[in-house]
Structure 1
């Protein structure tokens, strides 16, 4: 009975692992018919290894391994090489094979069959061959390390040449120092997401179900990734979020480890050389090394990737995100000793029960808005003529302020409740202070591409620019935070010859 239960347990684990692998392959755009055929081979192999008799009375595990295991193994290797493999895996694969050969050699010595004429000959020969193969593979793994590092250096050198060319291109503006607070939106490229992830939070895209759907749903759109530069006369150069970096976009598989690559797409980000954070800062008349403070709304990599270029900056973020959020250590590698965690002990701020007056002069207020991540926060910047509220990912776009009609994918459970609660506090803040305008990280509407770009073209929107933004908000949203006609998002499938769809507002 225990043996049967053990087999069933192993079967369930193997089938679950196989299902995860099939989902990953679907994420990598492997055709469904191929996945079905491959999945059947895997299933037959796993079941028949536990109960060989299901394939007939003459079946044995050795025959199952030969007729189902070999095709399953070759299929797995072929699919991995086709859709997941990257040159950075080169030292890892022979190293794993070397370990397997050496382990097999030890097993051959311990359990090898003896022949009648020479009891140890077969065992010794097998162990010798396997051990030799293991040593050769181990040497190959060691030698490949330098080749991989050299290839990586070549890629990075090419990226640096493109960046320098973009910096030297015509159009650099002169830095203005007249005592005014300036805010510059910085478009650091685009991220590719599923439409449902971005707009389907009220259509079942929530929690684990929503995450699985992001892996298999191919109704994709491209949305912008924005950071915001603040030139403050008293506090220096500040950034709200940092966007993505060029390595994430142009050398994605080299930037991320194997586990991260399994769960992401190679074209997850796209960026032109001109959109590199350092290039845009230079063309505005600034230097990345001058950035003194980064306010990180949350730790997700499309907001933290640019930290690789800001090793001298103090990074201000909620401790809960650092301890419990989904972060990629490589992006934080150079700033992990420069972190500052606000206490949120400055008392209530409007509808928010707690806030942090970061500089102590009311110029920058940090507001906890958990939900999208454990320690998500928004940043309120006070201007002489009003204020701007940097939303991070609490809400993706202006239409998302109609949170009961348009909602992004949420984590589910208490996190969804917290995120919607934060959204309602933001609604109350904007309603109570008509001089404050929201600035989003991923807005793909004309609010960002036209009105925000125009109002902040020279960094100082003034009272007139802020009024224009609020006036546009009134054309999109009612006072009760409902969408007006003509502003509901709809997915438009990709046209022939294109990979992704787009969003129309009707």
Structure 2
């Protein structure tokens, strides 16, 4: 048995170490100060050692050490949970768990009392009475708190609705243009907070598992936009490419997501004003969410799929591989999961792409597989009256990312990185072969998006002149062999105060 116990002990050390590292990383993601993390890690280590090797402790220490560290670890875990993970919707559950524990304790006290003598039954009976009473009180509080929490959340959502209605009525709204032209409107649906390295560090070690670990501990963060695109097509109706984030994600993040998602995401990962809500933006352009008939989802990540909950009548077109193997958040897909359409990509080669899908059969919308960022990521090519636009999704984040040998976002690693770079090369070749096509990005935080794209698509129809201006903007940043021109390399600018969000400068 000796060798077996030694092996089990070593396995225990590895498991314990991995568990402590995982907890440390999660709490670091949540912004817990390093001194607190160190103390908590030492307590967990002490508890683990006491449980794994009790024989190494002699006499009283064998009993007291696990108890001491166990109480400290329990209180520390509860305190950290309440400080960084707790949400008001957890209150009824916590009270119910406490009630269950008290009632279980009362049952144990009754059983012990029956087996005891010499006056101990009376003490056990009192203990059972007190614990049972506490359990009933806590159980009642759990039931009552459920209604209070529900009312509090409804009141919060009602305040949000009033803000959105005020944003819809604000001056500057426009009427729908109905002249038969194909129109595209960029819709800025708020911002997402990411680490600078996640966005621009793909060539500096931000890849695979190492990249994901660094996103947990690196606090050099920036805000980047989240764009969806509305298409008003004279033959095919109203369509969206991606849907951005929704109001609940930005304003009730912890209530919207479950406990696991709360542990692995930051509470402020999205931000949105009332005027950036998808429903508000559509209304101010003269449209309604209920009119959207088709959504082309480049991939299933939640910053692209959050707005689906406002579009229950739309057919959602996405690659089956993403639906079956992508990082899927069911909160956003609950209302549309019966309205999904999976392209077969059987329309033959399209330029540098060996497979494509002519969605409507008239070459107006071509779906192009670009896996890598997710298993079934795809780009969408839309033909305009005077050219075309290529919706990039997250194949490439920004215009400078087209210089993929110089600027690269974090990639998944292994073959997924290879696939993503290959997809980027295909995009380069497609853009080079057709000067009438311009790229539109989901997260571009450069002048290209906020000045050139916003100006060209101000009324939805850029025309030949607008597309030429966008191509000139591309050529001012990128050479013909997809290298950055001087003055366009990104760099992180730390916040002046040393805390908060940084900025991206180009030079």
TM-score, with structure 2 as normaliser? 0.94
Matched, 1:28 2:14: no
- Partner residue of 2:258? 257
Q: How far apart, CA to CA, are the structure 1 residues paired with 2:100 and 2:22? A: 25
Q: How many residues align?
A: 505
Q: How far apart, CA to CA, are the structure 2 residues paired with 1:143 and 1:245? A: 30
What is the 5 A alignment of 1:27-426? 27-52=29-54, 57-61=59-63, 63-103=64-104, 114-115=115-116, 117=118, 130-426=131-427
3-state SS of 1:137 partner: helix
Q: CA deviation at 1:205?
A: 0.7
Q: How far apart, CA to CA, are the structure 2 residues paired with 1:26 and 1:322? A: 31
Q: CA deviation at 1:69?
A: 2.0
Q: CA deviation at 1:131?
A: 4.9
3-state SS of 1:387 partner: strand
Q: How far apart, CA to CA, are the structure 2 residues paired with 1:14 and 1:104? A: 30
Q: Residues 183-230 of structure 1, C-alpha deviation per residue, up to 9 Å, x if partnerless?
A: 000000100000010011111111111111111110000000000000
Q: How far apart, CA to CA, are the structure 1 residues paired with 2:6 and 2:105? A: 27
Q: CA deviation at 1:128?
A: 5.7
3-state SS of 1:81 partner: helix
Contact 1:114–1:121 (8 Å) recurs in 2: no
Q: CA deviation at 1:172?
A: 0.7
The farther-off stretch of 495-504 and 104-113 is 104-113
Q: How far apart, CA to CA, are the structure 1 residues paired with 2:395 and 2:324? A: 19
Q: How far apart, CA to CA, are the structure 2 residues paired with 1:202 and 1:458? A: 38
- Unaligned runs of at least 5 residues, structure 2: none
Q: CA deviation at 1:126?
A: 5.4
3-state SS of 2:60 partner: coil
Change (3 A) 1:499 1:229: same
Contact 2:239–2:294 (8 Å) recurs in 1: yes
Q: CA deviation at 1:102?
A: 4.7
Q: How far apart, CA to CA, are the structure 1 residues paired with 2:10 and 2:252? A: 42
Q: CA deviation at 1:139?
A: 3.3
Q: CA deviation at 1:116?
A: 5.1
Matched, 1:485 2:486: yes
Q: CA deviation at 1:58?
A: 3.1
Matched, 1:496 2:497: yes
Contact 2:112–2:121 (8 Å) recurs in 1: no
Q: How far apart, CA to CA, are the structure 2 residues paired with 1:128 and 1:14? A: 39
Q: CA deviation at 1:49?
A: 2.9
Change (3 A) 1:11 1:127: farther
Q: Residues 158-181 of structure 1, C-alpha deviation per residue, up to 9 Å, x if partnerless?
A: 110000000010101111100100
Change (3 A) 1:4 1:57: farther
3-state SS of 1:60 partner: helix
Q: Residues 326-365 of structure 1, C-alpha deviation per residue, up to 9 Å, x if partnerless?
A: 1111111111111111111111111111111111110000
Q: How far apart, CA to CA, are the structure 2 residues paired with 1:424 and 1:111? A: 73
Over aligned residue pairs, what C-alpha RMSD do you find? 2.1
Contact 1:114–1:123 (8 Å) recurs in 2: no
Change (3 A) 1:18 1:94: farther
Q: How far apart, CA to CA, are the structure 2 residues paired with 1:295 and 1:138? A: 47
Q: How far apart, CA to CA, are the structure 1 residues paired with 2:501 and 2:8? A: 46
What is the 5 A alignment of 1:447-462? 447-462=448-463
- Partner residue of 2:15? 13
Q: How far apart, CA to CA, are the structure 1 residues paired with 2:484 and 2:413? A: 24
3-state SS of 1:59 partner: helix
Change (3 A) 1:107 1:369: farther
Q: How far apart, CA to CA, are the structure 2 residues paired with 1:128 and 1:205? A: 58
Change (3 A) 1:351 1:457: same
Q: CA deviation at 1:497?
A: 6.7
Q: How far apart, CA to CA, are the structure 1 residues paired with 2:455 and 2:272? A: 22
Change (3 A) 1:468 1:112: farther
Change (3 A) 1:344 1:437: same
TM-score, with structure 1 as normaliser? 0.95
Q: How far apart, CA to CA, are the structure 1 residues paired with 2:101 and 2:340? A: 42
